[in-house]
């Protein structure tokens, strides 16, 4: 669309606004009815470690939201010469999980406890055993039960428990609701009902009764909604919270608030069965939409849902490219010592491409990229490690190939549970993140590791703010009974440009040989953790 068309789109409310609260940035994106971004605004923020808790203050939340929206409004005014008085629909997303507990009058009882806190180990273990369902430490229910186990006095006063996305939505609309994908990071979801699992609610309520706590869990959790459901409208009070200048009008409809996992699935068109997306950067995680529930509990795999309630298996590895980045930094230091000027991006490109030239299995080399602990391989701490035998073929190409392989080693162990034990099948993976920045290299390595085609779309870089804007647009513009999968395929991603790389049998066999070596060598990593304290 040209400038005049975009101006008409804005003035006629054929737009959708999405805002996502990430760990370090709050981003707002305005899209038109063609789903292309029109304007954006952002605000940088950081969590704080206070009294042993990773947190953000409520003041930080609202200042950041107002600043990001203000920057977006300014861009709209400057680029299109029209004020942003209203939009067609709004959606909010944020980091999943965490703990925000309020009393019956809406007062925050304890500082916001984010997903990053690892203070709920006892609760996580007990609930996983009780439910026979994996409850990670970052889940809201683990935080709640840990507070009960700790005899924290605020527990008896709880009138409402929610997440960051749910809190913002509540304050702007008065509605205590969550999208099902976000809700699935609070408490287990039954995908046959698209609501909280009733049996597990009863099990938890029995724990509450034993502690003489008067409320029941279903009374304090947000109501669960699906993608496309109406989730309230922006109140006049909410409009002033979002835009203190008074320019934005109330009455705008909002879609259900979602978590960053759900918006990532939308942004990569990975919400249908047999699809998945993998985000690879500092950490790496894959999310696979399941055709049926897993047969049993696996501590390596989290079960959440898509924004429409379909079960999703999530394999999360703490370590991906951090150690690889450290080696590239070392090579950068070497080039500078030689007096050779080469940009960081070019150096990455050259070294990554070297990895494609090595022996299929990496020449017998071995590396562990564990800068931090890795739960999939049961290591509570990490020691980055590089190992070779006298017979290994120690070349630059094998060195780089081995470190690219190692970046996906722990992920592969978790994914093999899905592929080999549960016989999960997927048609392709959508990749996004820094691992895929160098053309085709990351795709080829990931395709070898997962033995499925790996695609990278141009829109993958738009991120979760765009994803939640698309969900807002879906609520506003979907046809009667039009599934989200069809809306994305036919109206959002139709004609989308991207590249797909199929697995090369040589690379698949090579990665398999590397993984056999990787698993045998884990005792070396364990010895490094134990010996280097």
Of 139, 155, 158, which Cα lies nearest the Cα of 147? 155
Q: Cβ of 284: how many Cβ atoms within 10 Å?
A: 23
pLDDT of residue 367: 98
pLDDT digits (tens, 9 = 90+) for 207-223: 999 999 999 999 999 99
Give the range of the structural domain holding residue 399, as residue numbers without chain letter. 322-406+506-531
Confidence of residue 197 (pLDDT cuts 50, 70, 90): very high
Whether 401 is in a domain gets the answer yes
Whether 317 is in a domain gets the answer no
Whether 167 is in a domain gets the answer no
Q: Cβ of 386: how many Cβ atoms within 10 Å?
A: 15
Of 259, 241, 260, which Cα lies nearest the Cα of 250? 241
Q: What is the DSSP letter of 276?
A: E
Whether 23 is in a domain gets the answer no
Residue 132 has pLDDT above 80, yes or no: yes
Residues in the chain: 533
Report d(CA 440, CA 524) in Å as an integer: 32
Report d(CA 126, CA 528) in Å as an integer: 30
Extract the tokens encoding 149.
């186990």
Please state the rounded mean pLDDT for residues 328-342. Answer: 96
Whether 254 is in a domain gets the answer no
Report d(CA 507, CA 72) in Å as an integer: 45
Whether 510 is in a domain gets the answer yes
Report d(CA 75, CA 72) in Å as an integer: 5
Whether 383 is in a domain gets the answer yes
Tell me the sheet residues that pair with 456: 499
Q: How many domains does the chain have?
A: 1
Report d(CA 73, CA 294) in Å as an integer: 46
Residue 458 has pLDDT above 80, yes or no: no
Q: What is the DSSP letter of 273?
A: T
pLDDT digits (tens, 9 = 90+) for 319-333: 999 999 999 999 999
Report d(CA 320, CA 3) in Å as an integer: 42
Whether 45 is in a domain gets the answer no
pTM: 0.86
């Amino acid at each position: 669309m040209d400038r005049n068309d975009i101006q008409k789109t804005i003035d006629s409310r054929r737009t959708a606004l999405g805002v996502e609260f990430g760990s370090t940035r709050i981003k707002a994106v305005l899209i038109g009815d063609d789903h292309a971004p029109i304007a954006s605004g952002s605000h940088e923020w950081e969590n704080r470690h206070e009294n042993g808790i990773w947190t953000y203050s409520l003041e930080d939340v609202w200042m950041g939201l107002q600043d990001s929206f203000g920057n977006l409004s300014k861009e709209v005014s400057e680029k299109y010469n029209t004020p942003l008085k209203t939009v067609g629909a709004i959606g909010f997303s944020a980091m999943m999980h965490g703990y925000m507990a309020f009393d019956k009058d809406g007062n925050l009882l304890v500082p916001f406890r984010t997903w990053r806190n690892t203070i709920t180990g006892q609760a996580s273990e007990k609930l996983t055993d009780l439910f026979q369902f994996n409850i990670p430490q970052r889940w809201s229910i683990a935080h709640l039960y840990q507070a009960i186990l700790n005899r924290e006095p605020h527990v008896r006063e709880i009138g409402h428990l929610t997440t960051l996305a749910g809190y913002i939505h509540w304050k702007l609309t008065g509605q205590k609701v969550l999208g099902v994908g976000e809700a699935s990071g609070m408490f287990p979801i039954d995908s046959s009902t698209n609501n909280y699992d009733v049996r597990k609610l009863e099990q938890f309520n029995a724990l509450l009764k034993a502690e003489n706590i008067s409320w029941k869990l279903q009374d304090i959790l947000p109501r669960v909604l699906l993608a496309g459901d109406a989730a309230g409208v922006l109140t006049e009070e909410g409009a002033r919270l979002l835009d203190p200048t008074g320019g934005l009008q109330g009455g705008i409809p909002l879609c259900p608030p979602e978590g960053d996992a759900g918006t990532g699935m939308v942004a990569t068109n990975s919400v249908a069965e047999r699809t998945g997306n993998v985000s690879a950067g500092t950490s790496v995680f894959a999310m696979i939409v399941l055709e049926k529930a897993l047969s049993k509990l696996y501590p390596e795999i989290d079960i959440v849902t898509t924004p429409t309630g379909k079960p999703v298996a999530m394999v999360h590895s703490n370590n991906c490219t951090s150690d690889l980045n450290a080696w590239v930094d070392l090579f950068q230091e070497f080039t500078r010592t030689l007096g050779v000027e080469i940009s960081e991006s070019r150096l990455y490109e050259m070294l990554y491409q070297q990895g494609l030239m090595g022996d299929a299995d990496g020449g017998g080399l071995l590396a562990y990229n564990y800068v931090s602990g890795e739960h999939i391989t049961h290591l509570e701490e990490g020691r980055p490690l590089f190992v070779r035998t006298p017979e290994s073929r120690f070349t630059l190409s094998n060195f780089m190939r081995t470190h690219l392989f190692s970046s996906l080693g722990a992920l592969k162990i978790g994914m093999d549970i899905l592929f080999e034990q549960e016989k999960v099948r997927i048609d392709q993976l959508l990749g996004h993140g820094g691992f895929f920045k160098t053309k085709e290299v990351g795709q080829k390595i990931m395709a070898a590791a997962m033995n499925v085609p790996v695609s990278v779309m141009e829109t993958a870089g738009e991120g979760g703010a765009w994803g939640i804007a698309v969900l807002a647009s879906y609520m506003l513009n979907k046809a009667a009974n039009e599934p989200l999968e069809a809306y994305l395929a036919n109206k959002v991603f139709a004609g989308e440009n991207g590249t797909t790389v199929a697995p090369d049998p040589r690379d698949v066999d090579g990665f398999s040989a590397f993984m056999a070596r990787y698993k045998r060598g884990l005792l070396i990593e364990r010895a490094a953790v134990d010996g280097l304290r």
